[in-house]
Structure 1
Amino acid sequence: MRDAPAPARRAVPGLLPWQGLLLACACGAWAVQDPASGALALLATAACFRLAGRALPGPGLMLLAALAGLAYAWLRLPAPPDLPDWIDRRPHGVLLARVEAVSDRPGNRLEILLDGVSFRFDSARPLPPGVRSASDSQTVPGAAVGPTQAGEPLPGRMVWTWQDPAFRPVPGSMVRLAARPHAVDGFDNPGVQDWAWRWRVRGVFLRVFTQGGKAVELVRQADPSALEAWRGRLREAILRGAGGDSAGGMVLGLVTGDRSGVDPSDLDRVRRASLAHLLAVSGMNLAAVAAMGWALAWLAGAAWPGLLLRVPRPRLAVLLGAPLVAGYLWLGRFEPSLVRAALMFGAWGWLLLLGRTGVLLDGLFFALAVMFALDPLCVFDVGLQLSAAAVAGLVLLAPLALPVADALRGGGAWRLAALVLPGWIAVTLAAQLAVLPIQASVFGEAGAHLYLNLLWTPVVEWAAQPLAYLGALCATWWPAMGDALLRASAGLCALLFESLRFMDARGWLAVHPVYRPWSPEALGYWLLLGGLAYARRMGARRAVAWCALCLCLLGGPWLWRAWEQSRDAVSLTMLDVGQGQALVVEARGGRRWLVDAGGTASPSFDPGRAVLSPALTWGRFPALEGIALSHPDKDHTAGAAYLLSNYRVGFLAGNGFWPGSSDFARAVAQSGLEPRAWRAGERIVLAEGLELEVLGPPAGTALTGNDASLVLRLVWRGRGLALLPGDAGSAVLEGLAASGRDLSAEVLVVAHHGSRSALAPGFYGAAGAKWGLISCGRGNAFGFPAAEVSRALGEAGMRVLETAREGAVTARWASAEAPAIVRGVRGR
């Protein structure tokens, strides 16, 4: 008897010409923010098509597509409006606005988009300088005119963060709230996407924050539809059945996407366990809903076998799953992540209905084309990037595991069962490998917790989610059954949270900062994965050329950095940390020292993890030669604990007074460092010819608070480069000027963020600096920098740059004799 022919090997599908043009359009759209990366991605895409032997699309056609994408994205990008000057003074007043959209956020918060916003000043408070009231007939020449009692329209949209809301406004409602609007801005550092851009693509340029319901009034509540009212009743029913703790909040999140009921500490544990995707409203949730369609199709085929002769099971699954997907979209309030996933599933379903096989890649590109046509700025959506990369990873890498699958296929039920675990591991690894550069670049952290995905993802997807969905369906018309199903789902979620708490208490959920790749490295990585998938379809010469392209993209940035770091140069970077201060000194060989570590007033925001580490790990590994803290104030030290816990740090120094937080003490103990107290007269050698002179505080000093700040002078081969006075006050600074010590420096880091309490004209004159750098947050509540300080710095002959206006500012000296080249990250 002739042996049955071996099954044909399923090859990785190639890209069609229109799909190449779509990639070119996406490269052009990306160039709206980052022209260099967009152009490089376009060149790499065109080169890959040529190496793959594709005549179409040609380079000229791809260039035209990229220009079209660039033009389309530029036309759709909201232009920054001219905000009133008084916005940066953050005056007290009353906002009247219409609610456009409402999103739930963890920690019992609402994120509300407002439009049609008008603002009027609080009549009980003095008006900011240069702003007139309704009764005034004169204004200061050239000054901005602010809103009167009647209110003034504000441009663009506004995002309102409401902590512990007293009610949930319905889109279309009118609200009035007492708040202090300020510009969406800040944390603009090299290699980090600043907050202003993230909100600009959504047309948002202002933000406000309120807590509780005391200062909020619902002027007019829009009439909720019957479906909206039913959604509210369903939410209450889910919480009643599942409970009000984190487990119940997770069940609510699985059904509706509302994660506000999950405790922030539990949410952080889930994130560190690499399980955040289980709580995100994404394609995974929609996939579980679509899987119900497949289950219904299987049950229907088992009950009525003849049905499958008329409607094949894949088509039947699509027909049965489509209403479920549509219902879940509505239930999830059409969150962008769900809409993206629905488009992908819709494309795959449409292709299945047409009888196509191998639909993953074509469906993905079809969905991406629709999204791009609707909004070209979707290329900046991190959720879309992760979804597209994960699906592409499955398409490209999963076929590499086919030999194992073929070896196990056809051997009965036990072999089929044996496929489940390897198949799950292969799918997880393929998706994780594909999204690795995005995760490293955006989140900047990683942990060795893939095994938790293998354990808990099936439990949540195959048990907790179906139970939650079925319980929600029963909750309103069969409460007893619905509550039982919801409690069962909540029990599984509680088991997840309890296990993570157990692991966290023993330090088993540690995550660490990772190297954040430059865009060429990310491109090279993805091309390398694609080359592995297509290796069998390329000839030897093309394979060698493909590898050479990957090596150039992967190795080019390393060679560039090695050349830069081999030069005998010194730089001082004032990072944009908002209303705080953090300075990075870098010398030959890439050695870096941090002076101060930023901070904010928020107890839940860690500037070390969210701001400093992303800036420090862009193209670099998490290491510092040392950290010096000028004084223990939170706005100079709050980020230090994270760095000490997670970075390789050579030493820790300060003025002898240390932050009193338990996090800092724990981090110091974990680092194994012995903190040093520096005193005036010491010279700290950083590198050959480079040292820090300690000018204050003096030994045995009785100074406390800001006046006890470290005052440092960066000296390179006898030349004063920069003065770093911390938050020292006027008396200390003028005393140093009168002491006759050499204070000369080309760059002055202005003391205390430009506060009036640190005004010291004599000190400015003694420094003789050409540049004055001020670290302050835009629209800060203190009014920094003070007008008197800015004026005195100008009179001393300095050009002043503020992080509030320039983002991070870097001063670079190419040699000990060369003048400083100073520029902000925004290039102004």
Structure 2
Amino acid sequence: PARGIAMALLLGERAWLSNNLKEAFARTGIAHLLAVSGIHMALAALLIGGLARALLLRSEWITLRFSVKKLATPLALIGVVTYAGLAGFSPSAVRAMVMILSFGAAFMIDRPQTPLNSLAIAAWALLIFNPLYLFDISFQLSFMAVFFLIMFSPYLKSVSEYKEVDGQKSFWIYIKAFILVTLIATLATTPFVAWHFQRVCFFVGLLTNLLVVPLTSFVILPGLLFGTILLPFFPELASGLWQGVGWLLDYLVVFINFVSGWSWSAVWVPRPSILQVSLFYLFLGSLALTGHWKISRALAVMFFALLLSVSAYREWMFSHQESLKLHVLDVGQGTSQVVELPEGKLMVMDGGGLRSPYFDVGERIVAPFIRHLGYRKIDIIVLSHPEQDHVGGLAALVRQFPVGELWTNEDISKNSSWKQLLETCAQRGVRHRVWREGGVEYVENVMVRVWPSTGCEGARGHNGRSLVVELDYGMRSILLTGDINRAREQCLLKEGLGPVDVLVVPHHGSKTSSSSEFVGQIRPEIAIVPVGWRNSLKLPNPQVLERYRNAGSNLLRTDLDGTVCVEINGNEISVDTYEVNNL
């Protein structure tokens, strides 16, 4: 791992890092070290400029006639631009490069060096080149951290100006200043981290940054850069230097893996609203200006109070929600349904799942969607049947959320995702309820009717034995069918299943389901087909779609319409889709 980390530290290249190691860096709040940024550029400028200055000072003729610093500065700036190019001109690298170029140009022409102007020039340069950088997470985190460090710079200067009786700055003053820098950078980036990743590691991040950043900035990274400069001239010395750095990196990996293993090192949080993020930055900005404007302190208090009020109101809205919302997610060729129940309850039926081991649908799609809605826990997870395209993402949900119950049918499977789900539930103490007989549960004022396959002779295979769930709310009903086949449809009709308002079409619209009798009997007002775009199975079947159209159903498909949201409020039904197709 030391070689991969060295490549990431030097060039921002993460291809040599394992997913587990990248996750460990993220959980400990130091993933920013793996991107080329201001620290890298400043060190490159200092090393190249310092080396050029040392060589120029060896010439008495140059020293007596020119400013050695101004002669060395262009060489340092050329080195910075070259380094940014080697790093692929990433947003953080370009931001640091432009700022250093601005400072260097101001120094060359004897103009004042203004950090905010340099930051603004860097932002404009990037956005003129590519306006979409405004939405890039690297751009947002990099500029926000530097902006607030500049805003709080008067406080940082006041801390560093304290002196001991003997006139020497205390070691603890440097520590205090560094803690303040780390705290400001962490506060400045936390809202955007919560917005994009729904995960924060505030306290552990402070600890690891205080320990790892100085080691990286003053020992590891200078060693890597200096070794690179020495390599063409003294290869043996460069090799020895890199070996020493590699030894440090090995110990660093051990430390990072240890800290990332703490259960509380990173905390999952709901995605904050735009209003919450804005109020937080207004509060932080007002706090930074308290030394300049008297009114800033009052503004900081006001914005903080508004932030608390908005957050409290958001929580109150969840606990007093009166409507029922069904979200049929676009998870590719699979099925996942998220049901928002009244009074802040949440049910998830199936978690999608791809056959690729490199993409966990639950971790990458379903869990972020739930946090985007604002939920911190899942009351009920329902698995229709243990096949990969339905069970694949559920284990990740159990790992990332407190879960009340897991509902399944009697089926068992050799599928690794099914085994992982049961193991994760056992580790976290999630109650596993196996439905062998049909029954009714009430979640607040929603009647949840569960239809297992018991007694249905034609229900063969995992698909046919899928657990079927009907949700009745007011005068409206929703039917979630899993992958049931025609024989199972007949059994449901015999058991008394009648017309429904909203249907998630069985088995992704396959011709093995949705018989003419079934469609004619239930006659859904809205029929939603969970299906993958251009899937190899060529689903949904055109004849099945025609049956629903003939029955008067409004057809929606996740491959064409994206995620579909159906809201039932009283007797009214409204439908919204990711693609504009409102009903």
TM-score by length of 1: 0.64
Aligned partners of 1:301 and 1:308 also within 8 Å = no
Aligned partners of 2:287 and 2:300 also within 8 Å = no
**Matches of 2:364 and 2:538 in 1, distance apart?**
25
The secondary structure found in structure 2 opposite 1:480 is helix
Q: Tell me the amino acid that sits aligned with residue 411 of structure 2.
A: F
Shift of 1:266: 2.2
Find 1:722's aligned residue among 478, 495, 508: 478
Alignment match, 2:188: 434
Aligned partners of 2:479 and 2:504 also within 8 Å = yes
Alignment match, 2:447: 691
Alignment match, 2:343: 589
**Matches of 1:710 and 1:771 in 2, distance apart?**
21
Superposed counterparts of 1:462-477, under 5 Å = 462-477=218-233
**Matches of 1:351 and 1:515 in 2, distance apart?**
44
Find 2:390's aligned residue among 636, 660, 668: 636
Alignment match, 1:362: 117
**Residue segments in structure 2 that go unaligned for 5+ positions in a row:** none
**Matches of 1:760 and 1:291 in 2, distance apart?**
74
- Does residue 497 (structure 1) correspond to residue 253 (structure 2)? The answer is yes
Shift of 1:256: 3.5
Alignment match, 1:575: 329
Q: Deviations over 1:26-65 (max 9, x none)?
A: xxxxxxxxxxxxxxxxxxxxxxxxxxxxxxxxxxxxxxxx
Alignment match, 1:266: 21
Alignment match, 1:485: 241
Cα gap change, 1:795/1:411 in structure 2, threshold over 3 Å: closer, same or farther? farther
**Matches of 1:483 and 1:502 in 2, distance apart?**
29
Shift of 1:438: 0.9
The secondary structure found in structure 1 opposite 2:152 is helix
Alignment match, 1:653: 407
Aligned partners of 1:255 and 1:331 also within 8 Å = no
Q: Tell me the amino acid that sits aligned with residue 313 of structure 2.
A: L
Q: Tell me the amino acid that sits aligned with residue 434 of structure 2.
A: A
Alignment match, 2:526: 771
Alignment match, 1:819: 572
For the aligned residue pairs, the C-alpha RMSD in angstroms reads 3.1
Shift of 1:362: 1.4
Identity of aligned residues (%): 27
Shift of 1:748: 0.3
Shift of 1:590: 2.1
Aligned partners of 2:94 and 2:122 also within 8 Å = no
**Matches of 1:308 and 1:267 in 2, distance apart?**
52
Segment of structure 1 superposing worse, 331-340 or 784-793: 331-340
Alignment match, 1:752: 507
Alignment match, 1:460: 216
**Matches of 1:776 and 1:312 in 2, distance apart?**
68
The secondary structure found in structure 1 opposite 2:431 is coil
Alignment match, 1:124: none
**Matches of 2:291 and 2:7 in 1, distance apart?**
47
Alignment match, 1:734: 490
Aligned partners of 1:525 and 1:554 also within 8 Å = no
Q: Tell me the amino acid that sits aligned with residue 629 of structure 1.
A: L
Q: Tell me the amino acid that sits aligned with residue 499 of structure 1.
A: F
Segment of structure 1 superposing worse, 592-601 or 319-328: 319-328
Alignment match, 1:529: 284
Find 2:436's aligned residue among 679, 682, 705: 679
The secondary structure found in structure 2 opposite 1:820 is strand
Cα gap change, 1:412/1:543 in structure 2, threshold over 3 Å: closer, same or farther? closer
Cα gap change, 1:699/1:304 in structure 2, threshold over 3 Å: closer, same or farther? farther
Cα gap change, 1:255/1:660 in structure 2, threshold over 3 Å: closer, same or farther? closer
- Does residue 609 (structure 1) correspond to residue 363 (structure 2)? The answer is yes
Q: Tell me the amino acid that sits aligned with residue 616 of structure 1.
A: I
**Matches of 2:308 and 2:539 in 1, distance apart?**
43
- Does residue 380 (structure 1) correspond to residue 101 (structure 2)? The answer is no
Q: Deviations over 1:369-418 (max 9, x none)?
A: 222222222211211111110101211234334543333478544x3433
Shift of 1:519: 1.1
Shift of 1:619: 5.6
Cα gap change, 1:823/1:273 in structure 2, threshold over 3 Å: closer, same or farther? same
Aligned partners of 1:513 and 1:613 also within 8 Å = no
Shift of 1:307: 6.1
**Matches of 1:372 and 1:288 in 2, distance apart?**
26
Q: Deviations over 1:60-112 (max 9, x none)?
A: xxxxxxxxxxxxxxxxxxxxxxxxxxxxxxxxxxxxxxxxxxxxxxxxxxxxx
Aligned partners of 1:656 and 1:676 also within 8 Å = no
Aligned partners of 1:524 and 1:554 also within 8 Å = no
Alignment match, 1:154: none
Shift of 1:626: 1.6
Aligned partners of 1:595 and 1:629 also within 8 Å = yes
**Matches of 2:306 and 2:402 in 1, distance apart?**
30
Q: Tell me the amino acid that sits aligned with residue 328 of structure 2.
A: M
Superposed counterparts of 1:136-175, under 5 Å = none
Superposed counterparts of 1:233-632, under 5 Å = 246-293=1-48, 295-296=50-51, 311=67, 318-357=73-112, 359-408=114-163, 411-413=166-168, 415-447=169-201, 448-450=203-205, 451-503=207-259, 507=262, 510-540=265-295, 544=298, 548=302, 551-552=305-306, 555-556=309-310, 559=313, 562-563=316-317, 566-618=320-372, 620-632=374-386
**Matches of 1:801 and 1:698 in 2, distance apart?**
31
Aligned partners of 1:696 and 1:709 also within 8 Å = yes
Shift of 1:527: 0.7
Q: Tell me the amino acid that sits aligned with residue 262 of structure 1.
A: L
Find 2:465's aligned residue among 708, 714, 718: 708
Q: Tell me the amino acid that sits aligned with residue 362 of structure 2.
A: G
Aligned partners of 2:505 and 2:514 also within 8 Å = no
Q: Tell me the amino acid that sits aligned with residue 535 of structure 1.
A: T
Alignment match, 1:53: none
The secondary structure found in structure 2 opposite 1:675 is strand
Aligned partners of 1:654 and 1:710 also within 8 Å = yes
The secondary structure found in structure 2 opposite 1:758 is coil
Shift of 1:510: 4.7
Q: Deviations over 1:104-153 (max 9, x none)?
A: xxxxxxxxxxxxxxxxxxxxxxxxxxxxxxxxxxxxxxxxxxxxxxxxxx
Aligned residues: 574
Aligned partners of 1:269 and 1:509 also within 8 Å = no
Q: Deviations over 1:296-344 (max 9, x none)?
A: 589689989996997496x677445212212212333434542333123
Cα gap change, 1:477/1:753 in structure 2, threshold over 3 Å: closer, same or farther? farther
Shift of 1:759: 3.2
Aligned partners of 1:756 and 1:788 also within 8 Å = yes
Aligned partners of 2:45 and 2:80 also within 8 Å = yes
Q: Tell me the amino acid that sits aligned with residue 790 of structure 1.
A: L
Shift of 1:473: 2.9
Aligned partners of 1:680 and 1:699 also within 8 Å = no
Cα gap change, 1:565/1:790 in structure 2, threshold over 3 Å: closer, same or farther? farther
Superposed counterparts of 1:168-187, under 5 Å = none
Segment of structure 1 superposing worse, 447-456 or 624-633: 447-456
Q: Tell me the amino acid that sits aligned with residue 144 of structure 2.
A: A
Q: Deviations over 1:434-473 (max 9, x none)?
A: 1111111112222342212222222222222222223223
Q: Tell me the amino acid that sits aligned with residue 800 of structure 1.
A: L
**Matches of 2:556 and 2:408 in 1, distance apart?**
26
Shift of 1:532: 0.5
The secondary structure found in structure 2 opposite 1:351 is helix
TM-score by length of 2: 0.89
Find 1:664's aligned residue among 421, 425, 437: 421
Higher helix share: 2
